Every structure is written in C-alpha cells, then in structure tokens.
Structure 1
C-alpha cells in the first residue's frame, strides 16, 4: 500500500484538531495559511476521506476525523517513545510545547523548570504564553496551550487542577525604604505609604481585594499598573511599595528590592498545574508537566 503523506502532515492535522482554527494551527506549525491548507488537503486526498468540517467560524472533526485523530496521536506518541528508548533524552522529536502561565510565576518557578528541561531535552522547543490568570485558563481549556500554571481552575468542570504550591503575598519595597529592615509588617503598617497595585482585571488583585474586604486600616492605592513587571519597576524607582506573590520577587540578592512577610491578614494563593480534562498530553508535554510537578514545589 502506497503512503502519500508524512509525519508533518499528521502533526499539522493534530494541530487543527486541538485549536479548531486553520490560522492558529498554521501559526503553530510555522506555515502560511495557504501552505497549511494544502497540507491538510493532501492528507485528505491520500486517505480518500473528509477529516474536517470547515465553517467561517470554526473547524470541527468529522466522525472519521475523530477516529483518525486518535490514531494519528498514537503514531506520534509511539514515535517519541521509540526515540526516547533508542537514543535517550536527545532522541525526542522536535516538537513545540506551549505552556501557559501567570507572569508572576515566570521569574523564579518557570525559569528554573525550563532551565532543567532544556538540559534534559535540548531538541524540544517550548513556547511560554504568559498572560492573566483568566487568559491562561482559557488557553488551556480551548486547547491553545498544552497545560498551564495558575491559581485559577480548581473549580472548572473541564479542567484538571493539580496543586503545587501555596504561597504568601509579601510586601515589596526598596532597600532604603523605612520598612525595609522590619522582619514582618501588617497591612495597617503599610497604610502611611504610597501603594502600587495591579489593575482590577488581574487575578492577583481580585485575591487581595477579597482578602482585605473587612480590613479597616489598609493602604490607599496611589498608582495602578497592568502588569506585575511594571509594578516592580515603579517600586524600584522609589514611587511606593506593593504586595506581590512570593514567587514574583526577583530574589533575595536583588540590589534594590526586598520582600517582607505580610500579616494581618496573611494572604495566600494556591498555584497548580492545569490541563484540559480528557486530553492526553504528548510524551514531550507530559515530561515537562511531570518536571513542573517535581521541581516547582521547591521554588515557592
């Protein structure tokens, strides 16, 4: 029997099955949309069946397409497993793994895991989709990311949430600020100073607002930013103090910033790995998922 398609065709097909969009799938496999369409057409012609139903808004799998997707993924997964068995870590197929995460997890937790992952699997390319918590959740739910790292998702019906770390919010200020030498501070002690916060669209802001709803003496917001990176930049510039998750701190050796335990109340968030319920990760994505599960708790 002649075979008139190749592994790249299978990868392209699985991409549109995941993303439900030709444009997104084409981007994910680094093809122009016309070239991507030709690849899918070639696959359908080689098989002699219709795999996809195309509309102006969405691409869905036919009944035959759903069955072929299962078999195509099994072929690609078996190939990865075979390469691992024959050539060790360096044998992993050149694949692209997309990890969605909240930006506050990138500096310490995500970077540490990715550094180790690259040493183990140098051929695997990882795309980090850093976004707000609700956008991370949507990317995983819609199949645009293989899995994610976030504090939202534990109560979603289509998401599996694997808890990793429960971390505290800390006060952050410049080392020359009056509170910098204190071992711990209360929210009331922050009240006299200019306070910098992320916008209400941030999941971290929502957590803080809920936790502080009944606190009478608390800091008034002087500056508001869209990102935690900008927030820390304003703190570095001496424009005020802020409260951030512990893993968002740039580290104990930072020349300008210091983090201080923040009490009364202690505010925490539970970080976890999120994945779409019922979706089987590729061997490469599963390896990275397990690495996060092993390494991340050591970097709260």
Structure 2
C-alpha cells in the first residue's frame, strides 16, 4: 500500500476536528495538500473514508471503523520510540490536563515537576476549572484527560478512581479550635463559617452529607472555589471545610487541618478520559505518572 504516516496523521486530524480547514491549520498544511493526502490514503485502501460536501465533511461507516486502527498504528510507533535510549530528552509535543482547582495546589505540582524533569521538551497546559468544566473539556477533546472528583454516568467517559479523600476543617493556627485533633460540624457552627457557593461540586457533596443532620453552619462568607476559601481561612476570616489535598501538607505557618466528623464527608478523586479513545504517548506518560503518584499521598 502506497501511503505513509503523514497520510494517517492527516486522516486523524480531519476525523477529530471534523473540518479540512481546521485540520490543515493544526497540521500547518494547505487544504489542497491535506486533501491530496486523504485522496492518496483512500486510493491505497480502496475505500471512501469521508463523505464530503461544500458544507461539511463526515466519516463514512468504514472511516469510523478505521479511526481506532489508524490511531493505534501511530501510537504503537511512538510507544516504540519511548524505548530508545535517551529518547525522553528528544520527545516533544503538548499534553493538556483539565483539573479541579482543589487538586492543583498540593497534588498536581509534584507530578508536573517530575514530568518536566523527565521530558523537558513536552509542553503542558493545565485547565484548572470546576468539575463540570473539567468534564466538558475532556468530552469535547479540549483536554487529553481530566483529574476530578465526580464520577459520571456519561457513556462516553471513563472514570478511574485514584483515592478516597476526606474533607477536613480548615482553621487558622490562632483559632480556638486549632489545638484540637478533630472537630464536629456542631463545633464549627459556633464560629464564623466560610462556605462554598451553591453549584460547586464540593458544596453538593457537603450538602448531601448534611442532608439528615440538624447541624448546618450558617455561612458568613461565601466563595466559588476551594483555593479562595483556604485563602480566607489563612487571613483569619473564619473556618471552613475543604478536601484534605487542598490544604498544605505538614506544618504550615498559618493553617491547620483538623479531622472532621459527625458526619464524615469524603470524595473520590480520579482520572477521566474519553471512552474508546487512546491517549497520545505523551499524555499516557503523564496519566501513568498520576496513577503511580496516588501511592504517595
């Protein structure tokens, strides 16, 4: 068969983006050059991969079936290159991960630092947004995969649990509760309480846990995201409840984490990706590194 890897890359670009124009821009080719590559591939295979009109381009049934095969060919080639000595220093590309802000501060940076040390030429984009935005970014292909805490019933998304993470009470080191090892929700209700806003995934988990409880702290300050809540606690505005990984590990000059009970609240942190869509080699390397990282939490 007379076609090459460039033809496969052109085919996958059009299949993923649904447009010859968008695909040609992503590959830095003219549309005519890209069209010739697709024609060459179709001639070599003896089949029609796309239905093309003046308005849109769509994969044929055969084309849809060929997508995973073409992707596997390219991935296998790049995986083979990973085994070559010193290839890490020569690997290049870009990986995009969508991540909830509460997992960025003290979970993701260590992995990013190690990843960049091993693969210095690979660029990384982090989309730090709410759980709903993370899900959308992965579903649309704006991110290679996501790090989030809410499993999904979406048939097109796979959720891989990494760890079960408890929520803790966040207090300032000078707060009256700071010397205690654990507190209850009733204890927190006696002080100025900082809450996450309605619509937040973490707020939803907290509200679920408190649904049958008579103790519901009345908030004095409300914020949208966990990092903002932690900053408010650090400034001495009040107390709050956040996922454990959102708090600094070990001793901190201003913040204290306290075990929280009555009731206990927790969440499952995990990785999401599009079902049936193989990750690129550079994305798979980061994905695997995050999976290994869970053992060190």
Q: Normalising by structure 1, what TM-score?
A: 0.83
Task: Quote how far apart the aligned CAs of 1:25 are.
Answer: 6.5
Query: Unaligned stretches of 5+ in structure 1?
Result: none
Range that drifts further, 206-215 or 249-258: 249-258
CA distance in 1, matches of 2:121, 2:162: 27
Change (3 A) 1:227 1:10: farther
Change (3 A) 1:172 1:85: same
> Which residue is 1:167 aligned to?
165
Task: Quote how far apart the aligned CAs of 1:211 are.
Answer: 0.5
CA distance in 1, matches of 2:163, 2:77: 34
Q: Write the deviation string for residues 211-242 of structure 1: whole angstroms up to 9, x where unpaired.
A: 01122123111111122222222222221111
3-state SS, counterpart of residue 80 of structure 1: helix
Q: Normalising by structure 2, what TM-score?
A: 0.84
> Which residue is 1:124 aligned to?
122
CA distance in 2, matches of 1:77, 1:85: 13
> Which residue is 2:197 aligned to?
199
TM-align CA RMSD: 3.1
Number of residue pairs the alignment of both structures matches: 293
Change (3 A) 1:115 1:21: farther
Range that drifts further, 70-79 or 186-195: 70-79
CA distance in 1, matches of 2:119, 2:212: 49
> Which residue is 1:223 aligned to?
221
Asked whether the 8 Å contact 2:20–2:34 carries over to 1, the reply is: no
Task: Quote how far apart the aligned CAs of 1:47 are.
Answer: 4.2
Task: Quote how far apart the aligned CAs of 1:166 are.
Answer: 0.4
> Which residue is 2:110 aligned to?
112
Task: Quote how far apart the aligned CAs of 1:276 are.
Answer: 1.7
CA distance in 1, matches of 2:135, 2:21: 21
3-state SS, counterpart of residue 161 of structure 1: strand
> Which residue is 1:176 aligned to?
174
